[in-house]
Amino acid sequence: MIQYKTEAQVAKMREAGLVVAHTLEVLKQAVAPGVTTAELDALAEETIRKAGAIPSFLGYHGFPATICASVNDEIVHGIPGKRVLREGDILSIDCGAILDGWHGDSAVTVPVGEVTPELWELIRVCEEALWRGLAAARPGGRLTDIGHAIESYVRSQGRYGIVEEYVGHGIGTEMHQDPQVPNYGRPGRGPKLVKGMVLAVEPMINLGSRHTVLLDDGWTVKTRDGSYSAHFEHTVALTDDGPWVLTALDGGEAKLAELGAR
């Protein structure tokens, strides 16, 4: 069942989204060679709790940390620990927070020091694909319009693998709700996009093939071929005025206007 939100409930989700947005800004500034993923995790928890919110991920189905920290060929759900970030790495940080019972969820991929042009381009393509998907999240469309916009952009940029096993999702009083939001597919299918839907849209793309492998820790997902991977995510509400990106500091206004979606 899809949970449709009132305007007042979306406003509450915006507050949770801003906690996540601020936390990710703090973490992006802290990423540097020599920093451990555990240190970033502790900083995330401190920032979220200082805002009066609760980390969404900590304890979720037994997950042991506040953020997912996925390095290089790790796609999603990397567990923070003693790993030391090194010059030339890329790090995907997935972060969630609960405020007054409502969830926000967002992810970014950031370079560690100087990285190769190929990795910069991977990051750019993934982030731009996310925004193409967000721009397609408009009342009157269909759910698969989002994934089609993501896939079409990625395919136009080169031979990247689009991860299929892990997808976006509805979000609200629970972190994961119906519907699932794939990052690929034909347009014009699935549930109708209507005001009050709130979705977490999150493309994951690889430099190599799309195929994945789950590690023995039961959480960390890596590329099967060892290629590097990028992951971006935002929580978006569908409104009469178009998409409202709840986990972007400006609500997505600048980028969506650039794409003609506002």
226 has pLDDT over 80? yes
pLDDT digits (tens, 9 = 90+) for 46-59: 999 999 999 999 99
- Six-digit token pair at 242? 């178009």
Per-residue pLDDT at 231 = 98
d(CA 221, CA 67): 15
Q: How confident is the model at residue 262 (pLDDT cuts 50, 70, 90)?
A: confident
Average pLDDT of the segment spanning 194-200: 98
Q: How confident is the model at residue 30 (pLDDT cuts 50, 70, 90)?
A: very high
242 has pLDDT over 90? yes
Residues 6+ positions from 69 with CB-CB distance below 8 Å: 37, 40, 41, 78, 79, 80, 83, 91, 92, 93
Task: Report the DSSP beta bridge partners of residue 181.
Answer: 168
CB 132 within 8 A of CB 124: no
CA dihedral 31, 33, 38, 41 (to 10 degrees): 0
39 has pLDDT over 90? yes
Per-residue pLDDT at 261 = 86
Q: Is the peptide bond before 139 cis (omega within 30 degrees of 0)?
A: no
- Six-digit token pair at 158? 């080169």
Closest CA to 181 of 209, 158, 151, 153: 151
pLDDT digits (tens, 9 = 90+) for 59-103: 999 999 999 999 999 999 999 999 999 999 999 999 999 999 999
Residues 6+ positions from 102 with CB-CB distance below 8 Å: 9, 12, 13, 15, 16, 172, 173
Residues 6+ positions from 11 with CB-CB distance below 8 Å: none
Per-residue pLDDT at 139 = 94
pTM for the model: 0.97
Average pLDDT, the chain: 97
